Amino acid sequence: MASPHDIATLAIHGGRSLDSHASSLLFPLYQTGTFVHDAVGVDKGFSYSRVSNPTVDALERAIGALEGTPPAVCFRTGLAAESTLFFSLLKAGDHAILSKVLYGGTIRLFREILEPFGVTASFVDTSEAANVQAAITPQTRIVFIESPANPILTLTDIAAVAEITRRHGLLLAVDNTFLTPALQRPLELGADISVLSTTKYMDGHNATVGGSLATQNPELAERFRLIRKTLGSIQAPFEAWLTLQGIKTLPARLRLHCENAQQIAEWLESQPSVARVYYPGLRSFPQHELALRQQRAAGGMLSFELDAPFETAIAVLNSVQLCSRAESLGGLETLITHPASTTHADLGAETRAALGISEGLIRISVGLESPADIIADLAQAFAAAGCALSCAQRAQEAASEVR
């Protein structure tokens, strides 16, 4: 049954229960590896923290409340969640369809582990749902999409793909890390599994790494728990406890992340040295319409390309003073990265070019500092890198000097 509460209330109270021992307001941290049995075969529901732990259970109830599902299944990292998903559902000879623009680690998981084990994969442009239909083979078992996709925020019409997977009896999993259930509801749009790296907005403080899988299907959830126990990929109690606190401010934080990102995206778009800005909240974003339809807001992530050589992009990154040159996203601090040399470095230049990830692309996870201060930092970095003017303007100036 759908909850009568708004997401802001659910983030604080959803799935929460008082600790039965001392009624502490915050659920306690059960930092223990094992649990004592009352008698042989008699326990209080817990035996060993690789299988389950009360603090991890509390996090699973809280995430389930946000996703609108029974308790989610939580993992040590987002990639541990993904590995468990694929090991749970695929065997040698099976085929998976994945978004072409995708977090680099997901692609590496297939290339380095699943494909050598005999699973095949097609990486297709899922921004056109028809491409998913065309890639289906008798061996296809799962479609895995990321929307918005890392790093150029390509969107996939989740409802349109869900209609296809339902018709073909396939499972649809959506990596919703960039938006979280506060801004996009993949399961309500027809997906079977919602995948999160809780490392990002869910924790929100760059304090932990973690992941989750949520589904309405109890057999699937049971299978994920079995494979998690087998792989040993459960979330740790302390990380679960920290994430439980972070989730409480998720909707409030995301509201500000979105406001700040919109302002910064608009500023970037007005800069002569910026060739292109990727942000679903901009009218110029090719899938702006779909973003309005499918998402509650545009999110806190944006990317842009400088109208300048690769070295200038690197110089901009090296000149920022307030923004942090750091991987990851979704925390309070604004982080700036160069996907070609970090998150998508393993793919190689040719694959990156085919995916539209240029060598000069810069990605920003917009934090909660004042947007004016972030803009001032970027402006001084542009100036320091010598790209206050666009390449075209510089070429014109050089030509007039020659004349």
- Indicate which residues carry an active-site annotation: 50, 103, 175, 200
Q: At what angle do helices 250-269 and 371-384 cross, to 10 degrees?
A: 40
Q: Which two tokens stand for residue 241?
A: 């406890």
The smaller minimum CB distance to ligand PLP, of residues 63 and 274, is found at 63
The smaller minimum CB distance to ligand PLP, of residues 103 and 382, is found at 103
- State the nearest-atom distance from the C-beta of 86 to ligand PLP, in Å: 13
The smaller minimum CB distance to ligand PLP, of residues 74 and 315, is found at 74
The smaller minimum CB distance to ligand PLP, of residues 157 and 175, is found at 175
- State the nearest-atom distance from the C-beta of 79 to ligand PLP, in Å: 4
The smaller minimum CB distance to ligand PLP, of residues 150 and 180, is found at 150
Q: DSSP string covering 231-258, please?
A: HT-BPPHHHHHHHHHHHTTHHHHHHHHH
Residue nearest to ligand PLP (CB): 78
- State the nearest-atom distance from the C-beta of 239 to ligand PLP, in Å: 11
Measured CA to CA, the distance from residue 276 to residue 303 in angstroms comes to 8
- State the nearest-atom distance from the C-beta of 144 to ligand PLP, in Å: 10
Measured CA to CA, the distance from residue 329 to residue 190 in angstroms comes to 27
Encoded amino acid at 194, one letter: S
Measured CA to CA, the distance from residue 299 to residue 304 in angstroms comes to 15
Nearest CA among 330, 357, 322 for reference residue 343: 357
Nearest CA among 381, 60, 371 for reference residue 198: 60
- State the nearest-atom distance from the C-beta of 200 to ligand PLP, in Å: 7
Q: What is the largest CA-CA distance in the chain?
A: 94
206 backbone φψ class: left, alpha, beta (φ>0; ψ -120 to 50): left
- State the nearest-atom distance from the C-beta of 151 to ligand PLP, in Å: 9
CA atoms within 13 A on the CB side of 402: 6
The smaller minimum CB distance to ligand PLP, of residues 274 and 323, is found at 323
The smaller minimum CB distance to ligand PLP, of residues 315 and 357, is found at 357
Residues that bind ligand PLP (CB under 6 A): 77-79, 103, 105, 146, 150, 175, 177, 197, 199, 209, 211
The smaller minimum CB distance to ligand PLP, of residues 77 and 334, is found at 77
- State the nearest-atom distance from the C-beta of 150 to ligand PLP, in Å: 5
- State the nearest-atom distance from the C-beta of 80 to ligand PLP, in Å: 7
Whole-angstrom distance between the N-terminal and C-terminal Cα of the chain?
75
Calculate the alpha carbon distances from 151 to 215, 236, 245, 375 in Å.
26, 28, 28, 20
Q: Which two tokens stand for residue 35?
A: 């649990």
Residue for token pair 């999160």: 196
**Cβ neighbourhood burial of 232 (10 Å; 0-12, 13-18, 19+):** exposed
Q: What is the CA radius of gyration of the chain?
A: 22
Nearest CA among 97, 176, 89, 180 for reference residue 144: 97
CB 332 within 8 A of CB 207: no
CB 254 within 8 A of CB 248: no
